[in-house]
């Protein structure tokens, strides 16, 4: 009977281990699926696009958020209207 008891204890042990693994796996899969990315921050969308160098201050600005100005047929990108005005003043 000792052997049978050990066998049952082993089965219970395996069942408990499997239960723990399944529970943990389910928890993690739920956490992954329900963890939908929050509304992407404004910076992420604004940062989209090519980076262009502001000719006035040298800052790199994304074409999505830059201040654009056509200069001699070329589209210039500025980090701010201040830089754009400085460019024209120069
Ligand atoms: Zn600038």
Ligand 1 centre distance from Cα of residue 45 (Å): 20
- What the block records as the tokens of 29 is 């899969």
The whole-model pTM stands at: 0.46
- Give tens-digit pLDDT for 67-80: 999 988 999 999 99
60 and 28 in a common domain = no
Ligand 1 centre distance from Cα of residue 61 (Å): 8
47 and 67 in a common domain = yes
Identify whether the C-beta of residue 66 lies closer than 8 Å to the C-beta of residue 77. Answer: yes
82 and 67 in a common domain = yes
Ligand 1 centre distance from Cα of residue 81 (Å): 8
Ligand 1 centre distance from Cα of residue 22 (Å): 55
- Give tens-digit pLDDT for 16-53: 999 999 999 998 888 877 655 555 444 444 456 789 99
Distance of alpha carbon 5 from alpha carbon 12, whole angstroms:
10
**Residues that place a CB less than 5 A from ion ligand 1:** 54, 56-57, 59, 79, 83
Query: What total of structural domains would you count in the chain?
Result: 2
Identify whether the C-beta of residue 67 lies closer than 8 Å to the C-beta of residue 78. Answer: yes
Domain hosting residue 51, numbered range:
42-89
30 and 2 in a common domain = yes
58 and 25 in a common domain = no
82 and 50 in a common domain = yes
32 and 51 in a common domain = no
């Amino acid at each position: 009977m000792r052997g049978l008891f050990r066998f049952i204890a082993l089965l219970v042990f395996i069942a408990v281990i499997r239960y723990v693994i399944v529970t943990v796996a389910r928890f993690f899969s739920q956490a992954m699926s329900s963890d939908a990315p929050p509304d992407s921050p404004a910076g992420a969308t604004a940062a989209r696009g090519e980076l262009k160098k502001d000719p006035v201050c040298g800052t790199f600005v994304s074409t999505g958020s830059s201040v654009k100005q056509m200069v001699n047929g070329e589209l210039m990108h500025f980090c701010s209207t201040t830089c754009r005005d400085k460019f024209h003043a120069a």
